[in-house]
Structure 1
Amino acid sequence: MGAFRHSSSLQRVAKQLGDRATLRVLGPDRKGIVAACSDLLNRHGCSIVSSEHYTDYSATPHSMLFQRILFDPEGLRDRSEVKTKVQELERKFGVKTKIDWRDKSPKVAVLVSKHDHCLWELLLRQQAKELDCEIPLIISNHENLRHVADTFQIPYYVFPVTPETKLEQEQAQLALIEAHDIDVIVLARYMQVLSKHFLSRYADSQIINIHHSFLPAFLGGRAYHQAHDRGVKLIGATAHYATLDLDQGPIIAQDVVAVSHRDGPHDFVRKGRGLERNVLVRALQAHLDQCVLVYNTKCVVFSD
């Protein structure tokens, strides 16, 4: 009997976590908007699990409100009615909103080159159910990491890229990604600069990149060597949304570790890899949990 109760308890917890939805609000700060959103959900039978909001008073020409409500829609009778009422709030307060019902796990495509540390971390965390997503494919420009994909029984596709074939290969990659109905793309040390054409197809904060420096310092492919040449005392890793401006997209997560004059470039790389793994996972988790609101060049990242 005790084992039966324990199993039922786990099932209830899993159901509660899976049934949670989010409402995100972004726009000019207006009196009453925070209360109006909570009241709307309550009136339609939703239980609010958590609510966070932040006002950026430095924004111009007016202060900006960022709000995230995590709620349980179990008592909700009609989703379409809630959607209609939320649209009415948009018009009344002049804000943008997005409801995510979490009906299914988002699909993630991982792009890699030859470095394997970020790929291993993503796949292990996803297998352990620490990342609520599916990873139906891995794309690379090299054969090197096929054994990692094989370990997790995930299809691995190779598109060798040269300056002459870059656009053609990107088009083939996009066709594959779209065929799998991918929600977010993760560049897990994918050492190719995506073209304007590729980025324009996924411009709405759908591509997450990990960069091996504490941006905005040390852009480009040899960031650790640049940092070593400058004699820095801290190195970092940055996860950001990819944009047309290389390594300058809105930052989701960052971290640093101390280094000294005794550390050579290889030590920088070794220490940095741990940062890259953890920062990338944190950023993807925040994105999957709908904790991120993007405004111009910045991200507001709420806790779940």
Structure 2
Amino acid sequence: MQVTITAVGPDNCGLADPIVHYVASAGANIHEIQMFDHDRDKIFAMMLRIEWPETSGTVAKLRSHMNEIGQLKGLSIRTWSRDEHIRPPRVAICSTYRPEPVVALLRAMRDKVIKADPVVMIGNRPACRGVAEQFDVEWHDVGDDGGNPNNDQIVELFDQHEVDYIVLARYMRILPPATCWKFAGGRIINLHHGLLPPFPGFRPYEDAHAHHMLTFGATIHFIIPELDAGNQIINQGTFSVAPGTPLEEIKRQGETDNEPSTLVEGVRRVIDRDVELHFQKVVRGQN
């Protein structure tokens, strides 16, 4: 059974050793290991992707041992496996202003196009609260008056609802590296409203229009803690316009049609395990 273990906490000596030693002694095959030391912030982060032998006990037992190590070493440790439970994956959806991607995602889950359950919606603005109520999904507004999110609360909500995947559906805030590490290994999916890599940033429609582009698009990619999206692209959707098409019309087409459909297909690929994230690259899944 494939299991992902993440550990984040204050930097110190010997933090990785007890985790690696335990899983190796239990007969686990370590497929991938990443560690990062934020010298400036004195933060340690680690991600292990292992094959856990059923003869060594359940994932719950492994999680219990990892939590004991976390308490001993002052680490926030999460032990996760898609195969631990016989149920559809549980999804958290984060949003800011635009409702169209969220509506498309919830419709796709309702209609079983995406075989997953939306268990919580989180917004740093209240714009999508009505959508959550329409689809009977628990809603939490984590933003202050300026839209600045309470990132600790976000992590608590992810843990509380035992989410398998997190979808940033036009969530217009950057998740802190510590949050990305806690849910590393291909668990955070982002909708970027432009084509990557040429048009990153918060205004990709405007940037592409300024370059006189006639093809626009959206990108679905895995979020990873330390690198910009490159080899993490899950899906891209494009549309073409005639020369001289006003920017407002381009954005309307992109926001109401292309972004939602591109997001649905990208999330479906992850949920159906058509793709996975190994060594920071998207690979064919083992479904």
| Both proteins in one fold, TM over 0.5 | yes
Match of 2:159 in 1: 178
**Is 1:280 equivalent to 2:263 in the alignment?**
yes
For 1:99-138, list aligned pairs within 5 A. 100=83, 103-138=86-121
- Which of the residues 184, 188, 192 maps onto 1:203? 184
Please give the alpha-carbon distance, in whole angstroms, between the structure 2 residues aligned to 1:126 and 1:292: 18
Residue deviations 1:78-117, cap 9 Å, x none?
x947x9xxxxxxxxxxxxxx98487210100000001011
Residue 273 of structure 2: SS of its match in structure 1? coil
Q: How many residue pairs were aligned? A: 214
**Is 1:251 equivalent to 2:233 in the alignment?**
yes
Instruction: Please provide the CA RMSD for this pair.
Output: 2.9
Greater displacement, 276-285 / 258-267: 258-267
8 A contact 1:286–1:301 mirrored in 2: no
For the pair shown, the structure with the greater C-alpha radius of gyration is 1
8 A contact 1:112–1:141 mirrored in 2: yes
8 A contact 1:211–1:237 mirrored in 2: yes
Please give the alpha-carbon distance, in whole angstroms, between the structure 2 residues aligned to 1:185 and 1:271: 26
**Is 1:267 equivalent to 2:271 in the alignment?**
no
> For residue 108 of structure 2, what is the amino acid of its counterpart?
R
- Change over 3 Å in CA distance of 1:215–1:165 after alignment to 2: closer
Residue 282 of structure 1: SS of its match in structure 2? helix
Please give the alpha-carbon distance, in whole angstroms, between the structure 1 residues aligned to 2:147 and 2:170: 22
- Which of the residues 209, 212, 216 maps onto 1:231? 212
- Change over 3 Å in CA distance of 1:102–1:264 after alignment to 2: farther
Match of 2:195 in 1: 214
- Change over 3 Å in CA distance of 1:120–1:163 after alignment to 2: closer
After TM superposition, the score normalised by the length of structure 1 is 0.64
- Which of the residues 164, 170, 195 maps onto 1:189? 170
Residue 145 of structure 1: SS of its match in structure 2? helix
Residue 216 of structure 1: SS of its match in structure 2? coil
- Which of the residues 92, 109, 122 maps onto 1:139? 122
CA offset at residue 146 of structure 1? 1.0
Indicate the percent of aligned positions where both proteins have the same amino acid.
26
CA offset at residue 298 of structure 1? 2.9
Residue deviations 1:39-74, cap 9 Å, x none?
xxxxxxxxxxxxxxxxxxxxxxxxxxxxxxxxxxxx
- Change over 3 Å in CA distance of 1:266–1:185 after alignment to 2: same
**Is 1:291 equivalent to 2:237 in the alignment?**
no
After TM superposition, the score normalised by the length of structure 2 is 0.67
CA offset at residue 259 of structure 1? 1.9
8 A contact 1:140–1:157 mirrored in 2: yes
CA offset at residue 212 of structure 1? 1.1
8 A contact 1:220–1:247 mirrored in 2: no
- Change over 3 Å in CA distance of 1:163–1:114 after alignment to 2: closer
Residue deviations 1:127-170, cap 9 Å, x none?
1121111111100011111111111111110011578965xx10
CA offset at residue 278 of structure 1? 1.3
Gaps of 5+ in 1: 1-21, 24-78, 84-97
Bigger relative contact order, structure 1 or 2 (CA pairs below 8 A, ≥6 apart): 2
